[in-house]
Amino acid sequence: MNPLLLWFYQTGSPANFERFAKRWSSWFIWPACALMAWGIYAALVEVPADYQQGNSYRILFIHVPSAWMSLFIYVAMAVNAFIALVWRIKLSELLAMSCAPIGAAFTAITLLTGAFWGKPTWGTWWSWDARMTSELVLLFLYLGVMGLYAAIEDRRAAARAACFLALIGLVNLPIVHYSVVWWNTLHQGATIRLIGKSSIDPAMVPPLIAMTIGTKLWFVGSLLTRTRAALIEQESGKDWVRRLLLPITSRGDTR
């Protein structure tokens, strides 16, 4: 067998993945917390106020990384959904389904902080602008994937249906990303670029990078924890789960 495929099958076996996820999740969550704690401190205290928007722009440091995460997690979900549909790998189904609530969380943060930023800056909480509307559609896609997965009783059939919906929803991603270019509306254009010159003050860059890496690490840690929980629940009839939970269940008996 192809060595890559072999590695994939071995790590992907439920008992092995459970150990892998348990060992590694805190290696992502704690550095994420440290990076975000420093990022938030710098964003609120150290960084100078914006020359035009004053202090309200400090919301950028959570709004923009969360918005990037809302798109990034959708891609991660779609990749896993594709693998799950083509190769019928159970672990990929669970990974894809565990991406959805995290993605929904970051999309909700993006929309709410956007409203809190819009009120003092534009004078309105919400407008049916292309960027905001497509981001709202993204939230509904995440919720739709979660709802569809929860609505069908057969777990494997539910995962396949929800993975299919996740793939269809991919068409929304370029719309979210290019909405500020294609339509000239309320939401401001991109100020931060990987290639070329960003139009923000250099002092604002390090906390933004810390928040961006912090949220990425958080996602990986949260995904491992969520997938582990989903795996244990789905396999709770199997022997390896019984062996795994037995010392804990016997203690829990005194309830």
Partner 1 sequence: MSEFFAMDGHGVYIWSSYAVFLLILVGDALAPRLRLRRVQRELAQRLRRQAGKGQSSTQPS
The residues that touch partner 1, with contacts defined as CB under 8 A, are 29, 40, 44-45, 49, 54-56, 58-59, 62-63, 66, 101-102, 105, 108-109, 112-113, 116-117, 119-120, 218, 222, 225-226, 228-230, 232-233, 236, 241-242, 245, 248-250, 252-253, 255
Secondary structure tally for the chain: helices H, strands E: 9, 0
Under a CB-based contact definition with an 8 Å cutoff, are residues 127 and 186 in contact?
yes
**Cβ 83 to partner 1 shortest distance, Å:** 22
CA distance 47 to 115: 22
Query: Cα angle at 98 between 92 and 101, to 5 degrees?
Result: 150
CA distance 45 to 58: 10
Q: 47 or 85, CB closer to partner 1?
A: 47
Q: What are phi and psi of 50, to 5 degrees?
A: -75, 145
Q: 85 or 216, CB closer to partner 1?
A: 216
**Cβ 176 to partner 1 shortest distance, Å:** 19
Listed residue (210, 226, 207, 219) closest to 29, CA to CA: 219
Q: 6 or 233, CB closer to partner 1?
A: 233
Looking at residue 189, its amino acid is: G
Under a CB-based contact definition with an 8 Å cutoff, are residues 144 and 164 in contact?
no
Q: 54 or 174, CB closer to partner 1?
A: 54
**Cβ 111 to partner 1 shortest distance, Å:** 10
**Cβ 5 to partner 1 shortest distance, Å:** 29
Under a CB-based contact definition with an 8 Å cutoff, are residues 187 and 180 in contact?
yes
**Cβ 128 to partner 1 shortest distance, Å:** 21
Q: 153 or 196, CB closer to partner 1?
A: 153
Secondary structure class of 90 (helix, strand, coil): helix
Find the length of the chain. Answer: 255
**Cβ 148 to partner 1 shortest distance, Å:** 19
Q: 189 or 252, CB closer to partner 1?
A: 252
Q: 43 or 85, CB closer to partner 1?
A: 43
**Cβ 195 to partner 1 shortest distance, Å:** 28
In order of 36, 40, 139, 142, 165, the CA distances from 221 in angstroms are 14, 19, 21, 19, 25
Query: Cα angle at 170 between 73 and 68, to 5 degrees?
Result: 35
